[in-house]
Amino acid sequence: MLFVRTTLFLGCALALLAQSDQDAQPAQDAQAPDAQPAPEYGGPAILSRGETPAMLSPAPIAFRPYIGLSAIFDNGIVPVSVTPTGQLPSPDVYGVALNLGAYTYRSWKHTTLGVDYRGNFRHYSQQTYYDGTDQLLALILTHAPSKRITFTLRNSAGTYSENYGLPTPPGIVDTNYLQLPQNDIFYGPVIFLSTAADLTFHKSARLSFDIGGEGDLVRRRSTALYGSTEGSARADMQYRVTRHSTLGVDYRFTYYSYTKGFGNTDIHSVGLNYSTQLTRHLQLSARIGGARVQSLSLAEVQIDPVVAALLGESVGIQVAHQISYVPDIMARLTDTFRRSTFDASYINGISPGNGVYLASRSQTETVSYTYTGVRHWNFGANAAYARMDALVQTLSAYSSYGGGIGITRDLGKGLHTVLRLDTRHYDIPGNQFLRTEYRATLGLTFSPGDVPLALW
């Protein structure tokens, strides 16, 4: 309840901020002659710094709230429970959801602020066990006290119960940069908090340095699942080779620890960064590197027969120390127009796991597209593939893939009808676990604005 109250309070604050925009505009215009003009080109997004293409240039003052009601159908949800016969249930559930959120982006002379809140409250007609809420609040603050120094703060916090949950706000935070929880297997409340801070020093127009740190906390209500705590420190050097290309190197140290048991993981990673603006709208960002992963955990071992005869136990527990060397690769291709956005990404690195798997080698591929070029309509589609290979557990590889499509129709006077269809398939071959989930939502949403509402 505290989180819900906080998000609603912030939503009211954002509404007041939006109402003050018109009054503040003349004052800003009066100061315009003293303001520093924004550069024509801000440079391609650098992955090691968590930059996203949409955040590279100052945006006009914007505020976009929404609130709506939709019907839901879910099939194939996997709760953290079993049937009387010991099988995982696979119910069909019907319900309704209240959806609400607000987005604002504001730019001053030396500071920019972006805030995005998205949430829903769900109630199912028969299976009230699945009632719940998904909440996400993201913030990015950039402040440049001088021409050479820039400070960036990124925060994301929320809770969700299902993988369909809440999509990442476009142009606000990068889920891979902040290590937000992803690819959960079970349906159940997950609470997360992530914060990251960076200080960038521009030695010259071409050469810049960045140091930063991050902290992440993930907790799951079910005592059968692991929670995680993460801390990291990083530094990089980037050099603008040409007006449209940047080349650099980075180093990152990451530490994982977990609830429910003994063990931790240390990761040392180095990488080569390359970012380029291929065309006016098309950007390519890549990081190619490697990581040394050192883990401590507990493992079962066979006891010597003589000792086993004395103790009456055939197995024992001892501390296991493992060192692995794995690739650490990221790549993203983004094409952004006024009426459409295309984004594709590839990641091959280390993740803190998903509540069942601990530190794992993770491979993720995603692609998404949105289009608002047709009058009154918005179209969106996305697809994803993910795989986890446990580094400290003797578990089979976990893989999942899925996708979704969505359509929004502007009915006039801020009212929109929203249709969304999603599916997700995942399995663990060695354990003979195989499941496909489906979700369909249809509803009405109110959101004043000049273009059709896009919620994905």
Strands 415-428 and 433-446, how do they pair? antiparallel
Provide the residue ranges of all domains of the chain, joining segments of one domain with +.
Answer: 2-446
Measured between alpha carbons, how far is 164 from 424 in angstroms, rounded to an integer?
9
pLDDT at 379: 93
Q: pLDDT class for 82, splitting at 50, 70, 90?
A: confident
pLDDT at 27: 36
Q: Is 186 exposed, middle or buried (0-12, 13-18, 19+ CB in 10 A)?
A: buried
**Is a pLDDT exceeding 60 seen at residue 57?**
no
**Is a pLDDT exceeding 90 seen at residue 191?**
yes
Strands 360-371 and 340-351, how do they pair? antiparallel
Residues 368-405: tens digit of each pLDDT = 999 987 888 999 999 999 999 998 888 889 999 999 99
Residues 221-237: tens digit of each pLDDT = 888 899 999 999 999 99
Closest CA to 297 of 317, 318, 320, 315: 320
pLDDT at 429: 78
**Cβ neighbours, 10 Å, residue 308:** 14
Measured between alpha carbons, how far is 187 from 184 in angstroms, rounded to an integer?
8
pLDDT at 15: 39
Closest CA to 360 of 431, 291, 429: 291
- CATH of 2-446, picked from 1.10.3470, 2.40.160, 2.60.40, 2.40.10, is 2.40.160
pTM: 0.81
Angle at 34 between CA 29 and CA 39, to 5 degrees: 90
* Contact call for residues 141 and 36 (beta carbons, < 8 A): no
